[in-house]
Amino acid sequence: MSVYKKDDPRHLRLSIESILNQSYANFRLLVGVDGSVGEELESELKMYEANDKVASFWFKENRGLTAVLNNLIEEGKKLNPLYIARMDADDISKSDRFEKQINYLEKHPDVDVLGGAIEEMEYDGRLNGKVIHYPLTHQQCFDFFSTRNPLAHPAVMFRASFFDKVSSYNALYKKNQDTELWFRAFKAGCRFANLEDIVLSFRVSQDMYRRRGGTKFALEVLRLRKEINKNLGYGVKAQLFAYAYYAMAVSPGWVKKFAYKTFR
């Protein structure tokens, strides 16, 4: 879990508590603090220093999500885990998320990375009724990736060996780091899957649509999507989608919001 200065302390507490209250108890929660976070967040984080299930890593400078995740992966490897799970500082994991994901991975040793369905909640925590299901099988995930990400990034659990096959996140990508990682994972022959069950409540942040827009963001997505389409053999439909996504990313906020709600 990565935490930075714009995270809400109330949301952070709910997120951490959702991990600490998992029905599966054999885990460590690694929290990367990305630069100065202010008194409220710092106080919230220090509440958990005495908890032996939580380890916090404080980084002096704000370096972005990709760098923090890579640091946490390296720290996690030192514990010799079988699995590494992702979590965001404003989402809420279902209490049986780890149990269900680990049970699945133990029964399916060929699967390298596993996600699940997510339900959306508004910024204030109210569920808005939208549930997003992702493709269940590897082939379905591969086909789905021709236009969209086949996993909800905050809801995934990796085998630790995944990062031996693929390495960590690409430091060149401050955003879209998950898309780029899935691309390399498919190229490396990793196997994907999703649970049909809801494993996480995903908070729709107030600036989510702004963060998913702008010319720089759009060009990065377009370049990456063109590379994906070329290397993974996706066809004309995928190319058309790449340009449509570019057009959406440089559109006004209301267009992005409509497209997100309609096509996600």
Which pLDDT tens digit goes with each residue over 142-155?
999 999 999 999 99
User: Sign of the CA dihedral 136, 137, 140, 142?
Assistant: positive
pLDDT of residue 213: 59
> Please, are residues 224 and 180 in contact by the beta-carbon 8 Å criterion?
yes
The length of the chain in residues reads: 264
- Structure tokens belonging to residue 55: 């380890």
pLDDT in tens, 104-135: 999 999 999 999 999 999 999 999 999 999 99
Q: Which residues of the chain have pLDDT under 50?
A: none
* Cα 10 from Cα 159, distance rounded (Å): 30
pTM confidence score: 0.91
253 contact partners, CB below 8 Å, separation of at least 6: 209, 210, 213
3-class SS of residue 198: strand
pLDDT of residue 256: 57
pLDDT of residue 250: 78
Query: Looking at residue 102, what DSSP letter applies?
Result: H
Tokens 């995934």 sit at which residue? 156
- Structure tokens belonging to residue 94: 């279902």
Instruction: Give the type of residue at 44.
Output: E
pLDDT of residue 206: 62
pLDDT of residue 41: 97
Tokens 């879990």 sit at which residue? 1
pLDDT of residue 215: 82
pLDDT of residue 82: 98
pLDDT of residue 216: 83
Cα angle, residue 94 at apex, residues 89 and 95 outer, rounded to 5°: 110
> Please, are residues 257 and 209 in contact by the beta-carbon 8 Å criterion?
yes
pLDDT of residue 255: 60
* Cα 63 from Cα 57, distance rounded (Å): 13
Residue spans of the domains in the chain: they are: 2-206, 208-264
pLDDT of residue 165: 97
Where does 2-206 sit in CATH, by number?
Answer: 3.90.550.10
| 58 beta partners | 33
